[in-house]
Structure 1
């Protein structure tokens, strides 16, 4: 059965990269609409009707059966989007685990850890270091240190997994837990943090960067 392209509303941000990279890795067809967040396009009425929070990324999947809207299933929040794509389109479990397995729930644990701690904390570090009009040393120090603490947690996870012969966050394959983290790890250099300061994370990052589809996903949307 042929599938219609998924519509991806996105911008060149860590959260946007999460979804475009995973779509590429899964080999799914999708159309991109760039949202200029610098011009507050994500707060315009037409977009807020899709996503009440007014944030990218958002997807519309016209292939969803019994969709609640004429366009299809509308989803925002990167954790929800990634899990949906894995559940719906990774039937061979190349980048996921069967529902109900221990690995499935471990993936969910680390996915939630990324979206609830890593993303927001690193996002605040980005704000205070890059975007704040007034430099606030307290904010810079607090969020930089906490960002480093969180990557230390990931290093510990990989260290524990290494004892069982794994180089992934969960089990024996890259999952949405890895792809969620990768979008933010890719942008660490912007706040002068080198992921190779954590040896296992550095290896993890370098290897994941070589996965087919990752580089292409990082070019979505294409730079001007």
Structure 2
């Protein structure tokens, strides 16, 4: 277990420490998924697993405060073999285990690589948190932040570190926009203002819109990692 990773919030080019494993091999790329409660993080992880599992060797770490419910959901959905899905019970606000004291997540990541490796990709899903939630760059190499239209179409305008600095922003549940009065055009414009050149994907897991784009973004990060 590594305990000496200092949290930082570098830009997209930043990578976490320990790029090599103890045996000298390149470790898996780690991508974190954060966002508010109910935004669709676990469903997005499931969709990514289905899209990528035949192409790359991957595994998942989920974070919940007192349960392992997200990991159990992924196992029930059979998105990966059960031994490739593990859970961390944070016992406190979710951001503490992904940004402040990342030791439990690092241990989970390393145990997966030891147990089912070699791995190309590990997805680390945060428990539901607020717009300030970000991952330590000592834990992940890139961050996806997931919001949903039902949470209000003013979320991109409100900003916060998750919205403004994540390497990819996913606006989820776009199929609900007509039912909750969300203006997708306004959300897109506000996201562009807040994020400058950082990418944004509008996604509906119900009809599949955007899922291919998110998976394509992950493939791009993997290609850069292994080049």
TM-score, scaled relative to structure 2: 0.29
Larger proportion of strand: 2
TM-score, scaled relative to structure 1: 0.29
- Larger Rg: 1 or 2? 1
Larger proportion of helix: 1
